[in-house]
């Protein structure tokens, strides 16, 4: 089974709740977060474009994070699959 756990090395906010993400294995791609709208629960602040655009890379976990009152970070396997247009793995 291929590894879906890669460190994010660069992120750039795009329009319409999309991000351009680069990984340590040399791959990169667009991750579309618009499917999460309306953003539920702890993700609700991301519905504001000015908050969504404040994305950064978590210094310890090397995945995406946002500086909200309840810090938000994203599952790196989900992010890698979305950005590289791969099916999500079926964890058993």
The full set of domains in the chain, from first to last, is 8-83 (3.30.2020.10)
Residue 35: the pLDDT is 87
pLDDT value of residue 1: 47
pLDDT value of residue 59: 85
DSSP string for residues in the chain: -------EEEEEE-STTEEEEEETTS-EEEEE-GGGPSPPGGGGGGGSHHHHTT-EE-TTT-SEEE-SSS-EE--HHHHHHHHTT-PPP---
Low-confidence ranges of the chain (pLDDT < 70): 1-2, 91-92
Q: How far apart are CA 28 and CA 80, in angstroms?
A: 9
pTM of the entire predicted model: 0.86
């Amino acid at each position: 089974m291929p590894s879906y756990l890669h460190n994010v090395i660069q992120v750039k906010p795009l329009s319409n709740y999309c991000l351009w993400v680069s990984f340590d294995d040399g791959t990169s791609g667009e991750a579309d977060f618009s499917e999460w709208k309306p953003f539920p629960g702890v993700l609700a602040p991301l519905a504001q474009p000015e908050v969504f655009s404040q994305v950064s890379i978590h210094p310890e976990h090397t995945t995406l994070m946002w500086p909200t009152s309840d810090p938000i970070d994203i599952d790196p396997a989900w992010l890698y699959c979305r950005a590289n247009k791969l099916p999500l793995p079926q964890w058993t």
